[in-house]
Structure 1
Amino acid sequence: MVRADRQGQHRTAFEKNKRRILLTQNVCGICGKPVDKTLKAPDPLSPVIDHIVPISKGGHPSSLDNLQLAHWQCNLQKSDKLYASGFKKKPQVIGNRNLPQSLDWSRYRGG
């Protein structure tokens, strides 16, 4: 069976988004290291487009939100696993009780 990003309606959108990613991204979305776009396959560090959520796990085949730049070897090791999002830290809200006490309030005079 041929993947959805390699045939049919998603093929054109995938190719368009692939070109966009190759122009705008410079870091591997899996390992976080720079990608040398001058390298060609089968070099292990050559650039490829990775599906963040694999198509086999329900990921969209051509959505820009589901595509990222990656090294060929990183993408090969990731395979169809879903752990890629674990590499990216989610923003964390810290309450003011957790912040360090940096001011000396003993000298404060209310005005």
Structure 2
Amino acid sequence: MVRQDKQGPHRVAYEKNKKVIFKTQNVCGICGKQVDFSIKAPEPLSPVVDHIIPVSKGGHPSAMENLQLAHWTCNRQKSDKMFLAKQEAPQVLGNRNLPQSTNWATYKG
């Protein structure tokens, strides 16, 4: 069976979205490191498009929300596994929690 992003109606949308991703993204969505677009396939660090949710697991074959930039080797290692990058919750600091660089009580400006 041929994948939907390789043939059929999703092919054109996939190729269009691939061009957009190559123009707008520069970090591998899997390892988080910079992608060098001067490296060409079949080099391990060459840029490819990865399906965040694999097509074999029900991911959309050409939707922009399901595509990300990746290194070839990272994408091969991920294969058809589900992988979500560890996202840390943004930490909000109030003014009282910030380090004090100056003792403002004794400041004489």
TM-score normalised over the length of structure 1: 0.79
Q: Secondary structure at the match of 2:70?
A: strand
Q: Where do 5+ consecutive residues of structure 2 fail to align?
A: 100-109
Q: Secondary structure at the match of 1:49?
A: strand
For these two proteins, the number of residue pairs brought into alignment is: 100
The alpha-carbon deviation at position 101 of structure 1 amounts to 9.1
Q: CA RMSD in A?
A: 2.2
* Structure richer in helix, relative to its length: 1
Q: Secondary structure at the match of 2:31?
A: coil
**Residue 65 in 1 paired to residue 71 in 2?**
no
Runs ≥4 residues deviating over 4 A: 99-102
Q: Letter of the aligned partner of 1:89 in structure 2?
A: Q
In 2: Cα distance, 1:25 partner to 1:19 partner: 10
Say if 1:101 and 1:43 are closer, same or farther in 2 by CA, change over 3 A: closer
TM-score normalised over the length of structure 2: 0.81
Say if 1:90 and 1:62 are closer, same or farther in 2 by CA, change over 3 A: farther
Equivalent residue number for residue 78 of structure 2: 78
Equivalent residue number for residue 87 of structure 2: 89
Q: Letter of the aligned partner of 2:75 in structure 1?
A: N
Q: Letter of the aligned partner of 1:71 in structure 2?
A: H
Q: Where do 5+ consecutive residues of structure 1 fail to align?
A: 103-111
* 1:1-111 paired onto structure 2 within 5 Å: 1-83=1-83, 85=84, 87-89=85-87, 91=89, 100=97
Say if 1:101 and 1:18 are closer, same or farther in 2 by CA, change over 3 A: closer
Q: Letter of the aligned partner of 1:54 in structure 2?
A: P
In 2: Cα distance, 1:32 partner to 1:52 partner: 14
In 1: Cα distance, 2:6 partner to 2:28 partner: 22
